[in-house]
Structures are given as C-alpha cells and as structure tokens.
C-alpha cells in the first residue's frame, strides 16, 4: 500500500510539473520576441549579402540566443544593452556619409563615438574596466567587510567590461563594412580581435560561475589572466597599430571562420579560467605551509606564466622593453604578494570542493567546444587547402591541447582524479594552451603564419 501510494504521488508530481515553455514568464517571451525581431530585420536588410551558409548561421543563432537568455537571465539585460549601444553607434555614424557608406571620420567629431562607442574607444574602456575589476576583487579579498562592497564593485566592473567589449566588437564589425567593398568581416580574424574575444569570453564564463556558486572570491584570480591579456593587447595596439581594420587574407575569407574561431576561444577562455581556479586551489592548500622551499614550485609556475607574454615575441629586448620590464615586475610582485598573503586569501576562498567543481566544469565545457572547433577547422582546411589534416604546427599543437584535456577528463571520470594533482595538471595545461595560441605563431612557420606578430 505504501509503495503504491509513493509511486502514485511521484507520478502526480512528475505529471504536474510544468514543461519548459510553460515555465516561461512574460519577460522570457518578450526577450525571445526581441531576438526574433532583430534577426528578421537583419535577414531582410542583409539577405542579399549573405550566402546560404551565413543565412543558416543567422537562423540557427536565434534559438541559441533565446535559450542562453532563458538559461542565464543576466544575459538578457546584457544583450538588450549591447544591441541598443551598437545601434546608437550605427545611427551616429550614419548621420553623414562618404563615398561608400557611413562617414567613419565622425568617430573623431561626435562626442559619444569619440569617447565611448567607436570600436577602439569601447575596447579601450573594456581594458580599463577589466583592470579596475581585478583591483577591486583583490581589495575585497584583503579588506574585512561584511557586505564585501569592493568585490561587488569588481563584479559590476567585470560586467561593464564585457558590455563594452561586445559593443566594440559589434561596432567594429559595422565599421569594417563601411571602409570599402569586400573589407567587412566578423572581427575574429587577427590577434587584436581574438584577444578582445578571449577577454570578454573568459570574463563572461567567470561571471556565470560567480552567480551559480554565489561567491566572488575567485574573481581575484580569474581576472588576473584577463588583465594579462589586456596588457598584451595594449602593447600590441601601440607597437603594431593593430587596431586598424585590414582586409582578410584569402585563407580567412570563409564562413567557417565565423564558427571555428569563436568555438576555439571558448575553449581557450575556459581552459584559462580553470587554470586560475587551479592556482587558487593550490594557494589554499599551501596556506599553512611555512617552508618556503615547498612553495617554490608554485612560485616558479607563477613566474613562468608571467613570462609568457615576454617570451612570445621574436625580439624580447628591442622596442617597448621598458613596458615589458614594468609588466614583468608587476607580475612578480603579484605572485609574491599572493604567496605572502596566502593565509588570508585561503580563508576567503570557497571550499576546495567548490574549486574542484569549477575546474572540472570549465575544462569540460572548454573541451567540448575545442573538439567542435577542431572538427570545424578540419572542414575549413579541406576547403582552403585541399586536405582535412596536414600536420601543420598549429594543427599539431591543437591536437596536443586536445589530448592533454582529454587525458585530464579521462583520469577524473574513470580514475577519480581530484585534489592537488588535478590542479597542477590544469595549471600546467595553461602553458600548453598558451603555446598553441601564441607560441606556434611566433616560433613555428606553417599554413597559419598569417597570425605572426
């Protein structure tokens, strides 16, 4: 009798649970309507400029964006805000025109464009906001405060940085189409553009985990790698005038780029996030260690990671050497400060189980998207160069990255890998990933040599 009653009750609860669509409120449906309306307008306005594949991407993006907005409601306000800011920039540009389209010279004449909404201005704001966010997160770790206002401010600045990065990316996309025929392209084609992509993707994934686990303590570590990328981007912009929009090289003139590159950088971003969480885990585990020689491996790893931007240059001495000296000096101070203050930092970090879980989920998400990116890259290679795989250095190192994280996931799921060993592996994985991302282009020639510095 009890078994029957329990079964009936469970069935009733299951049958009475509202379905996915039934659980949607008015805000959900208004968001879905806004996404669909925007896509319909884009399809009607730009259909003649898109081939069948690009039209399919646009149509497929609609349910994907709606699902993301329903899954993570914070994205709805972000999406609407970015869309409004980008449309305002387009409207300001379009008030005057030159021989081809909107007059891009207005970026120096219109206040909002010059200081906020042109692509370069927005991306500069992204960098400033991410630096300030990192500082606020670290202040929050050391300042005793019940409301943790410093870390709350750091989180708001991280959101603002993502907002400005996305706005700058969309406006840059528009600007590229106004330069001349066949110039316009999605801004994921060179190191400058993909560094912007890496920064906001990594920050956005972190902000999701911050909300999901209800802790802001990890922002201090994760935003360090974002700030390091911003530092590299700042140097690259000045040293190479990299913010200038250039025509695509023939190998990049493919719709595959629109899928392959973003999927690849979801992998890079989440792998980097996992590595910084692993660093936090190791700092927490070493909080009570008094023998400095036992801290040496962690200090050495931190220094090696700091050295990467300097190493990944063909000439690490000539040109802007003072910038890199300051960069490296600040990085060393940060690593030393973390180790010196490890006890206080460890007390503010989440439980080791939470850190371990964030590591695992980040690597799992990154591995899934990196796998997709690798498959898409093979199809792109077949179209561009006539073969799916050529053992080009970039392809070889992409395979090494894939095998590294495949082994990590295998050891975790099959052998129960946890704790210090998995954290060291995840942290070392950042070195492998960074070389695949930058080092290959700096030191090894091949079919992907268009990404050289």
pLDDT at residue 399, rounded to an integer: 95
Are 33 and 125 part of one and the same domain? no
Are 270 and 418 part of one and the same domain? yes
Are 86 and 46 part of one and the same domain? no
Residues 6+ apart with CB under 8 A from 333: none
pLDDT at residue 9, rounded to an integer: 47
Are 303 and 254 part of one and the same domain? yes
Are 49 and 92 part of one and the same domain? no
The answer to whether the beta carbons of residues 232 and 299 sit under 8 Å apart is no
Residue 112 lies in a domain: yes
Residue 204 lies in a domain: yes
**In angstroms, rounded to a whole number, what is the distance separating the alpha carbons of residues 408 and 418?**
10
Residue 109 lies in a domain: yes
Domain final position from 171, 191, 226: 226
pLDDT at residue 6, rounded to an integer: 47
Are 255 and 141 part of one and the same domain? no
Q: Phi then psi for 102, rounded to 5 degrees?
A: -65, 145
Are 62 and 81 part of one and the same domain? no
Q: Phi then psi for 154, rounded to 5 degrees?
A: -60, -40
Total residue count of the chain as it appears in this document = 453
Q: Tally the domains of the chain.
A: 3
CA-wise closest residue to 271 among 101, 97, 433: 433
Residue 11 lies in a domain: no
Residue 9 lies in a domain: no
Residue 10 lies in a domain: no
Are 129 and 268 part of one and the same domain? no
pLDDT at residue 11, rounded to an integer: 45
Are 67 and 91 part of one and the same domain? no
Residue 240 lies in a domain: no
pLDDT at residue 20, rounded to an integer: 66
pLDDT at residue 13, rounded to an integer: 44
Domain that holds residue 408: 249-453
CA-wise closest residue to 125 among 93, 154, 95, 166: 166
pLDDT at residue 356, rounded to an integer: 96
Are 101 and 207 part of one and the same domain? yes
Q: Report percent pLDDT > 70 for the chain.
A: 87
DSSP states along 236-256: HHHHH-TTS--PPPGGG-STT
Residue 163 lies in a domain: yes
Return the exposure string of 179-213: e unless at least 16 CB atoms fall within 10 Å of the residue's CB, then b.
eeeeebbbbbbbbbbbbbbbbbbbbbbbbbbbeeb
Are 326 and 356 part of one and the same domain? yes
**In angstroms, rounded to a whole number, what is the distance separating the alpha carbons of residues 56 and 40?**
13
- pLDDT of the chain, 453 residues: tens digit per residue: 444 544 444 444 445 556 667 778 888 999 999 999 989 988 888 787 777 877 888 899 999 999 999 999 999 999 999 999 999 999 999 887 766 677 888 899 999 999 999 999 999 999 999 999 999 999 998 887 666 899 999 999 999 999 999 999 999 999 998 887 778 889 998 889 999 999 999 999 999 999 999 999 999 999 999 999 999 899 888 888 888 998 888 878 888 888 999 999 999 999 999 999 999 999 999 887 777 766 777 777 777 666 665 555 545 444 446 777 788 888 888 888 888 889 999 999 999 999 999 999 999 999 999 999 999 999 988 887 788 888 888 889 999 999 999 999 999 999 999 999 999 999 999 989 988 888 777 766 555 555 555
Domain final position from 166, 192, 226: 226
pLDDT at residue 110, rounded to an integer: 92
Are 328 and 286 part of one and the same domain? yes
């Amino acid at each position: 009798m009890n078994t029957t009653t329990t079964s009936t009750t469970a069935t009733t609860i299951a049958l009475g649970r509202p379905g996915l669509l039934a659980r949607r409120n008015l805000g959900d449906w208004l968001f879905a309507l806004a996404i669909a309306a925007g896509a319909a307008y884009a399809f009607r306005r730009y259909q003649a400029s898109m081939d069948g594949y690009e039209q399919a991407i646009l149509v497929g993006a609609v349910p994907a964006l709606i699902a993301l907005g329903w899954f993570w409601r914070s994205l709805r306000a972000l999406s609407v805000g970015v869309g409004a800011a980008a449309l305002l920039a387009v409207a300001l540009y379009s008030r005057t025109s030159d021989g081809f389209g909107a007059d891009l010279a207005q970026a120096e004449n219109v206040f909002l464009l010059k200081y906020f909404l042109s692509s370069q201005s927005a991306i500069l704001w992204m960098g400033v906001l991410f630096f300030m966010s990192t500082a606020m997160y670290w202040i929050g770790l050391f300042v005793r405060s019940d409301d943790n206002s410093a870390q709350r401010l750091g989180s708001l600045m991280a959101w603002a940085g993502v907002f400005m990065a996305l706005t700058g990316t969309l406006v840059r996309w528009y600007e590229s189409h106004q330069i001349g025929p066949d110039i316009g392209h999605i801004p994921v084609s060179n190191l400058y553009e993909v560094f912007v992509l890496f920064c906001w993707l990594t920050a956005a994934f972190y902000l999701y985990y911050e909300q999901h686990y209800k802790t802001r303590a990890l922002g201090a570590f994760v935003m360090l790698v974002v700030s390091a990328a911003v530092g590299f981007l700042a140097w690259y912009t000045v040293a190479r005038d990299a913010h200038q929009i250039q025509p695509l090289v023939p190998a990049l003139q493919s719709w595959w780029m629109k899928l392959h590159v973003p999927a690849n950088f979801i992998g890079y971003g989440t792998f980097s996030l996992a590595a910084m969480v692993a660093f936090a885990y190791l700092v927490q585990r070493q909080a009570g260690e008094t023998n400095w020689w036992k801290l040496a491996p962690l200090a050495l790893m931190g220094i090696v990671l700091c050295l990467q931007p300097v190493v990944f240059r063909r000439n690490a001495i000539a040109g802007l050497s003072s910038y890199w000296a300051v960069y490296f000096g600040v990085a060393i101070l940060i690593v030393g400060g973390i180790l010196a203050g490890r006890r206080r930092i460890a007390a503010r970090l989440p439980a080791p189980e939470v850190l371990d879980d964030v590591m695992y989920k980040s690597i799992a998400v990154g591995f899934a998207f990196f796998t997709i990116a690798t498959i898409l890259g093979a199809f792109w290679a077949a179209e561009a160069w006539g073969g799916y795989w050529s053992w080009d250095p970039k392809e070889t190192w992409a395979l090494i990255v894939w095998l590294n994280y495949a082994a990590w996931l295998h050891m975790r799921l099959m052998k129960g890998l946890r704790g210090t060993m998995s954290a060291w592996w995840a942290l070392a994985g950042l070195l492998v990933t960074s070389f695949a991302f930058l080092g290959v282009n700096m030191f090894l020639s091949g079919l992907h040599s268009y990404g050289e510095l």
